């Protein structure tokens, strides 16, 4: 089985898992309660908001990893992989921001709050966008690849900062993946969450592979055109 076929399989599986998680979120996972005992419906957003956010951090790591690999080998295929990883990161980052803003409005009464997690994540969004702005302003292909790799490595530093900031600084952002006592998730909630997380990571991988396949095909097309056109 080749990579493209695996990617399509993972895509279908990821789709099924996320759909299952979606249904479980609303029909199985027990409701979270507000301090006054009423049901907190907005908490349902978390079952997808968090997996998307985790996926964005993880995929962004590959930007830095392929950046390092590119600089060490100067192999253009790594540059392409880093670029695609950043693209998928951008997709997840924007989704995280959008769902997060909706939840913030419900829970905190405002669309936006400059608190550490939101701020650092916003900065990460800007860095991901800056990565593409940088790429677009370098004409020479190799320079573009080297600069993008260097910037990707530097930019990734913000990801762990944003991830751990809720533990270091005074943040009002809930810590879902705290482990142990404070996450306070009951079994059905936790299982739903984990399934959504796995599904989302599979989707992330599938997106990445599909885009990679597309870029490789594009390249083959270019090569063919050169052959025909002379």
Partner 1 sequence: MGETSCTGRALEVQGLTRAFGVRKALDGVEFELPDGAFLSIFGPNGAGKTTLVKILTTLLNPSAGTAKVCGLDVVTDAVELRHRIGLISHNPLLYPDLTAEENLLFFAEMYGIPQATERVRDLLESVELDHRRLDITRTFSRGMLQRLSIARALLHKPDILFLDEPYSGLDPHAMDILDSLIAQIRGDHTFVMISHDLTKGLELCSHALILANGRVVLFDEKDAIDEGAFRETYRSTVGMGVA
Partner 2 sequence: MAGSSWRQFKAILRKDLVMELRTHEMITSMGLYAILTMVVYQIALTEAGEALDVRLVMPGLIWVAFIFMSLLGLNRSFVHEKDQGCIDALLLSPVDRPVIFFAKSAGNLLFLLVVELLSLPVFAFLFLQGREGITNPIWLLGVVMFAASVGISGVGTLLATMTVNTTGKDILLAVVFVPLMYPLLRAAVGATFAAIIGGPGSVETFWAWMTWIAGFDVIMLLIAFGLYEFVIGA
Partner 3 sequence: MQDVYSAVLPQAPYVIGAYGLIWVALLGYVGLVFSRLNRIEKEISVVEAAVKRREKSES
CA distance 118 to 124: 10
Residue span binding partner 1 (CB under 8 A) among the ranges 6-14, 47-55, 174-182, 220-228: 220-228
CA distance 63 to 78: 9
Q: Does residue 54 belong to the site contacting partner 2 (CB under 8 A)?
A: no
Query: In this complex, which beta carbon is closest to partner 3, that of residue 91 or of residue 131?
Result: 91
Q: Does residue 157 belong to the site contacting partner 1 (CB under 8 A)?
A: no
Q: Does residue 129 belong to the site contacting partner 3 (CB under 8 A)?
A: no
Planar angle of CA 124, 129, 134, nearest 5 degrees:
120
**Shortest CA distance to 48 belongs to which of 174, 210, 195, 166?**
195
Q: Does residue 9 belong to the site contacting partner 3 (CB under 8 A)?
A: no
**What counts of helices (H) and strands (E) characterise the chain?**
7, 0
| One residue of 77, 99, 132, 183 binding partner 3 per CB under 8 A | 99
Q: Does residue 201 belong to the site contacting partner 3 (CB under 8 A)?
A: no
Please enumerate in sequence order all residues whose Cβ is within 8 A of that of 184, keeping only pairs 6 or more positions apart, or say none.
Answer: none
**What would the x/- binding string for partner 3 be over residues 158 to 197, using CB under 8 A?**
----------------------------------------
Q: Does residue 123 belong to the site contacting partner 2 (CB under 8 A)?
A: yes
- Answer with the entry of partner 2, partner 3, partner 1, none that 214 interacts with (C-beta below 5 to 8 A by kind): partner 3
CA distance 180 to 57: 22
Residue span binding partner 2 (CB under 8 A) among the ranges 18-26, 46-54, 85-93, 154-162: 154-162
DSSP letters spanning 99-121: HHHHHHHHHHSSS----HHHHHH
- Of residues 75-104, which lie at the interface with partner 1 (CB under 8 A)? 76
Please enumerate in sequence order all residues whose Cβ is within 8 A of that of 118, keeping only pairs 6 or more positions apart, or say none.
Answer: 100, 104, 112, 173
- How far apart are CB 167 and partner 3 at their closest, in Å? 25
CA distance 118 to 7: 32
Q: Using CB under 8 A, list all residues that contact partner 3.
A: 11, 18, 22, 34, 37-42, 44-45, 48-49, 52, 91, 94-95, 98-99, 102-103, 105-106, 203, 207, 210-211, 213-214, 217-218, 220-221, 224-225, 227-228
């Amino acid at each position: 089985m080749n990579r493209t076929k695996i990617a399509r399989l993972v895509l279908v599986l990821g789709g099924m898992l996320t759909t299952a998680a979606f249904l479980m979120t609303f029909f199985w996972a027990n409701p979270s309660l507000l301090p006054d005992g009423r049901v907190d419906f907005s908490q349902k957003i978390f079952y997808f908001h968090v997996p998307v956010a985790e996926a964005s951090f993880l995929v962004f790591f590959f930007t830095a990893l392929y950046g390092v690999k590119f600089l060490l080998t100067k192999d253009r295929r790594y540059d392409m992989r880093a670029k695609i990883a950043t693209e998928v990161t951008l997709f997840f980052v924007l989704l995280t921001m959008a769902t997060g803003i909706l939840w913030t409005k419900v829970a905190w009464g405002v669309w936006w709050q400059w608190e550490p997690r939101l701020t650092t994540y916003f900065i990460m969004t800007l860095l991901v966008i800056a990565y593409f702005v940088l790429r677009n302003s370098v004409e020479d292909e190799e320079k573009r690849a080297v600069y993008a790799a260097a910037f990707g490595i530097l930019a990734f530093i913000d990801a762990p900062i944003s991830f751990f900031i809720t533990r270091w600084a005074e943040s009002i952002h809930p810590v879902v993946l705290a482990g142990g006592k404070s996450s306070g998730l009951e079994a059905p909630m936790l299982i739903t969450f984990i399934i959504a997380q796995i599904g989302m990571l599979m989707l992330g991988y599938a997106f990445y592979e599909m885009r990679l396949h597309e870029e490789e095909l594009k390249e083959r097309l270019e090569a063919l055109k050169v052959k025909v056109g002379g």
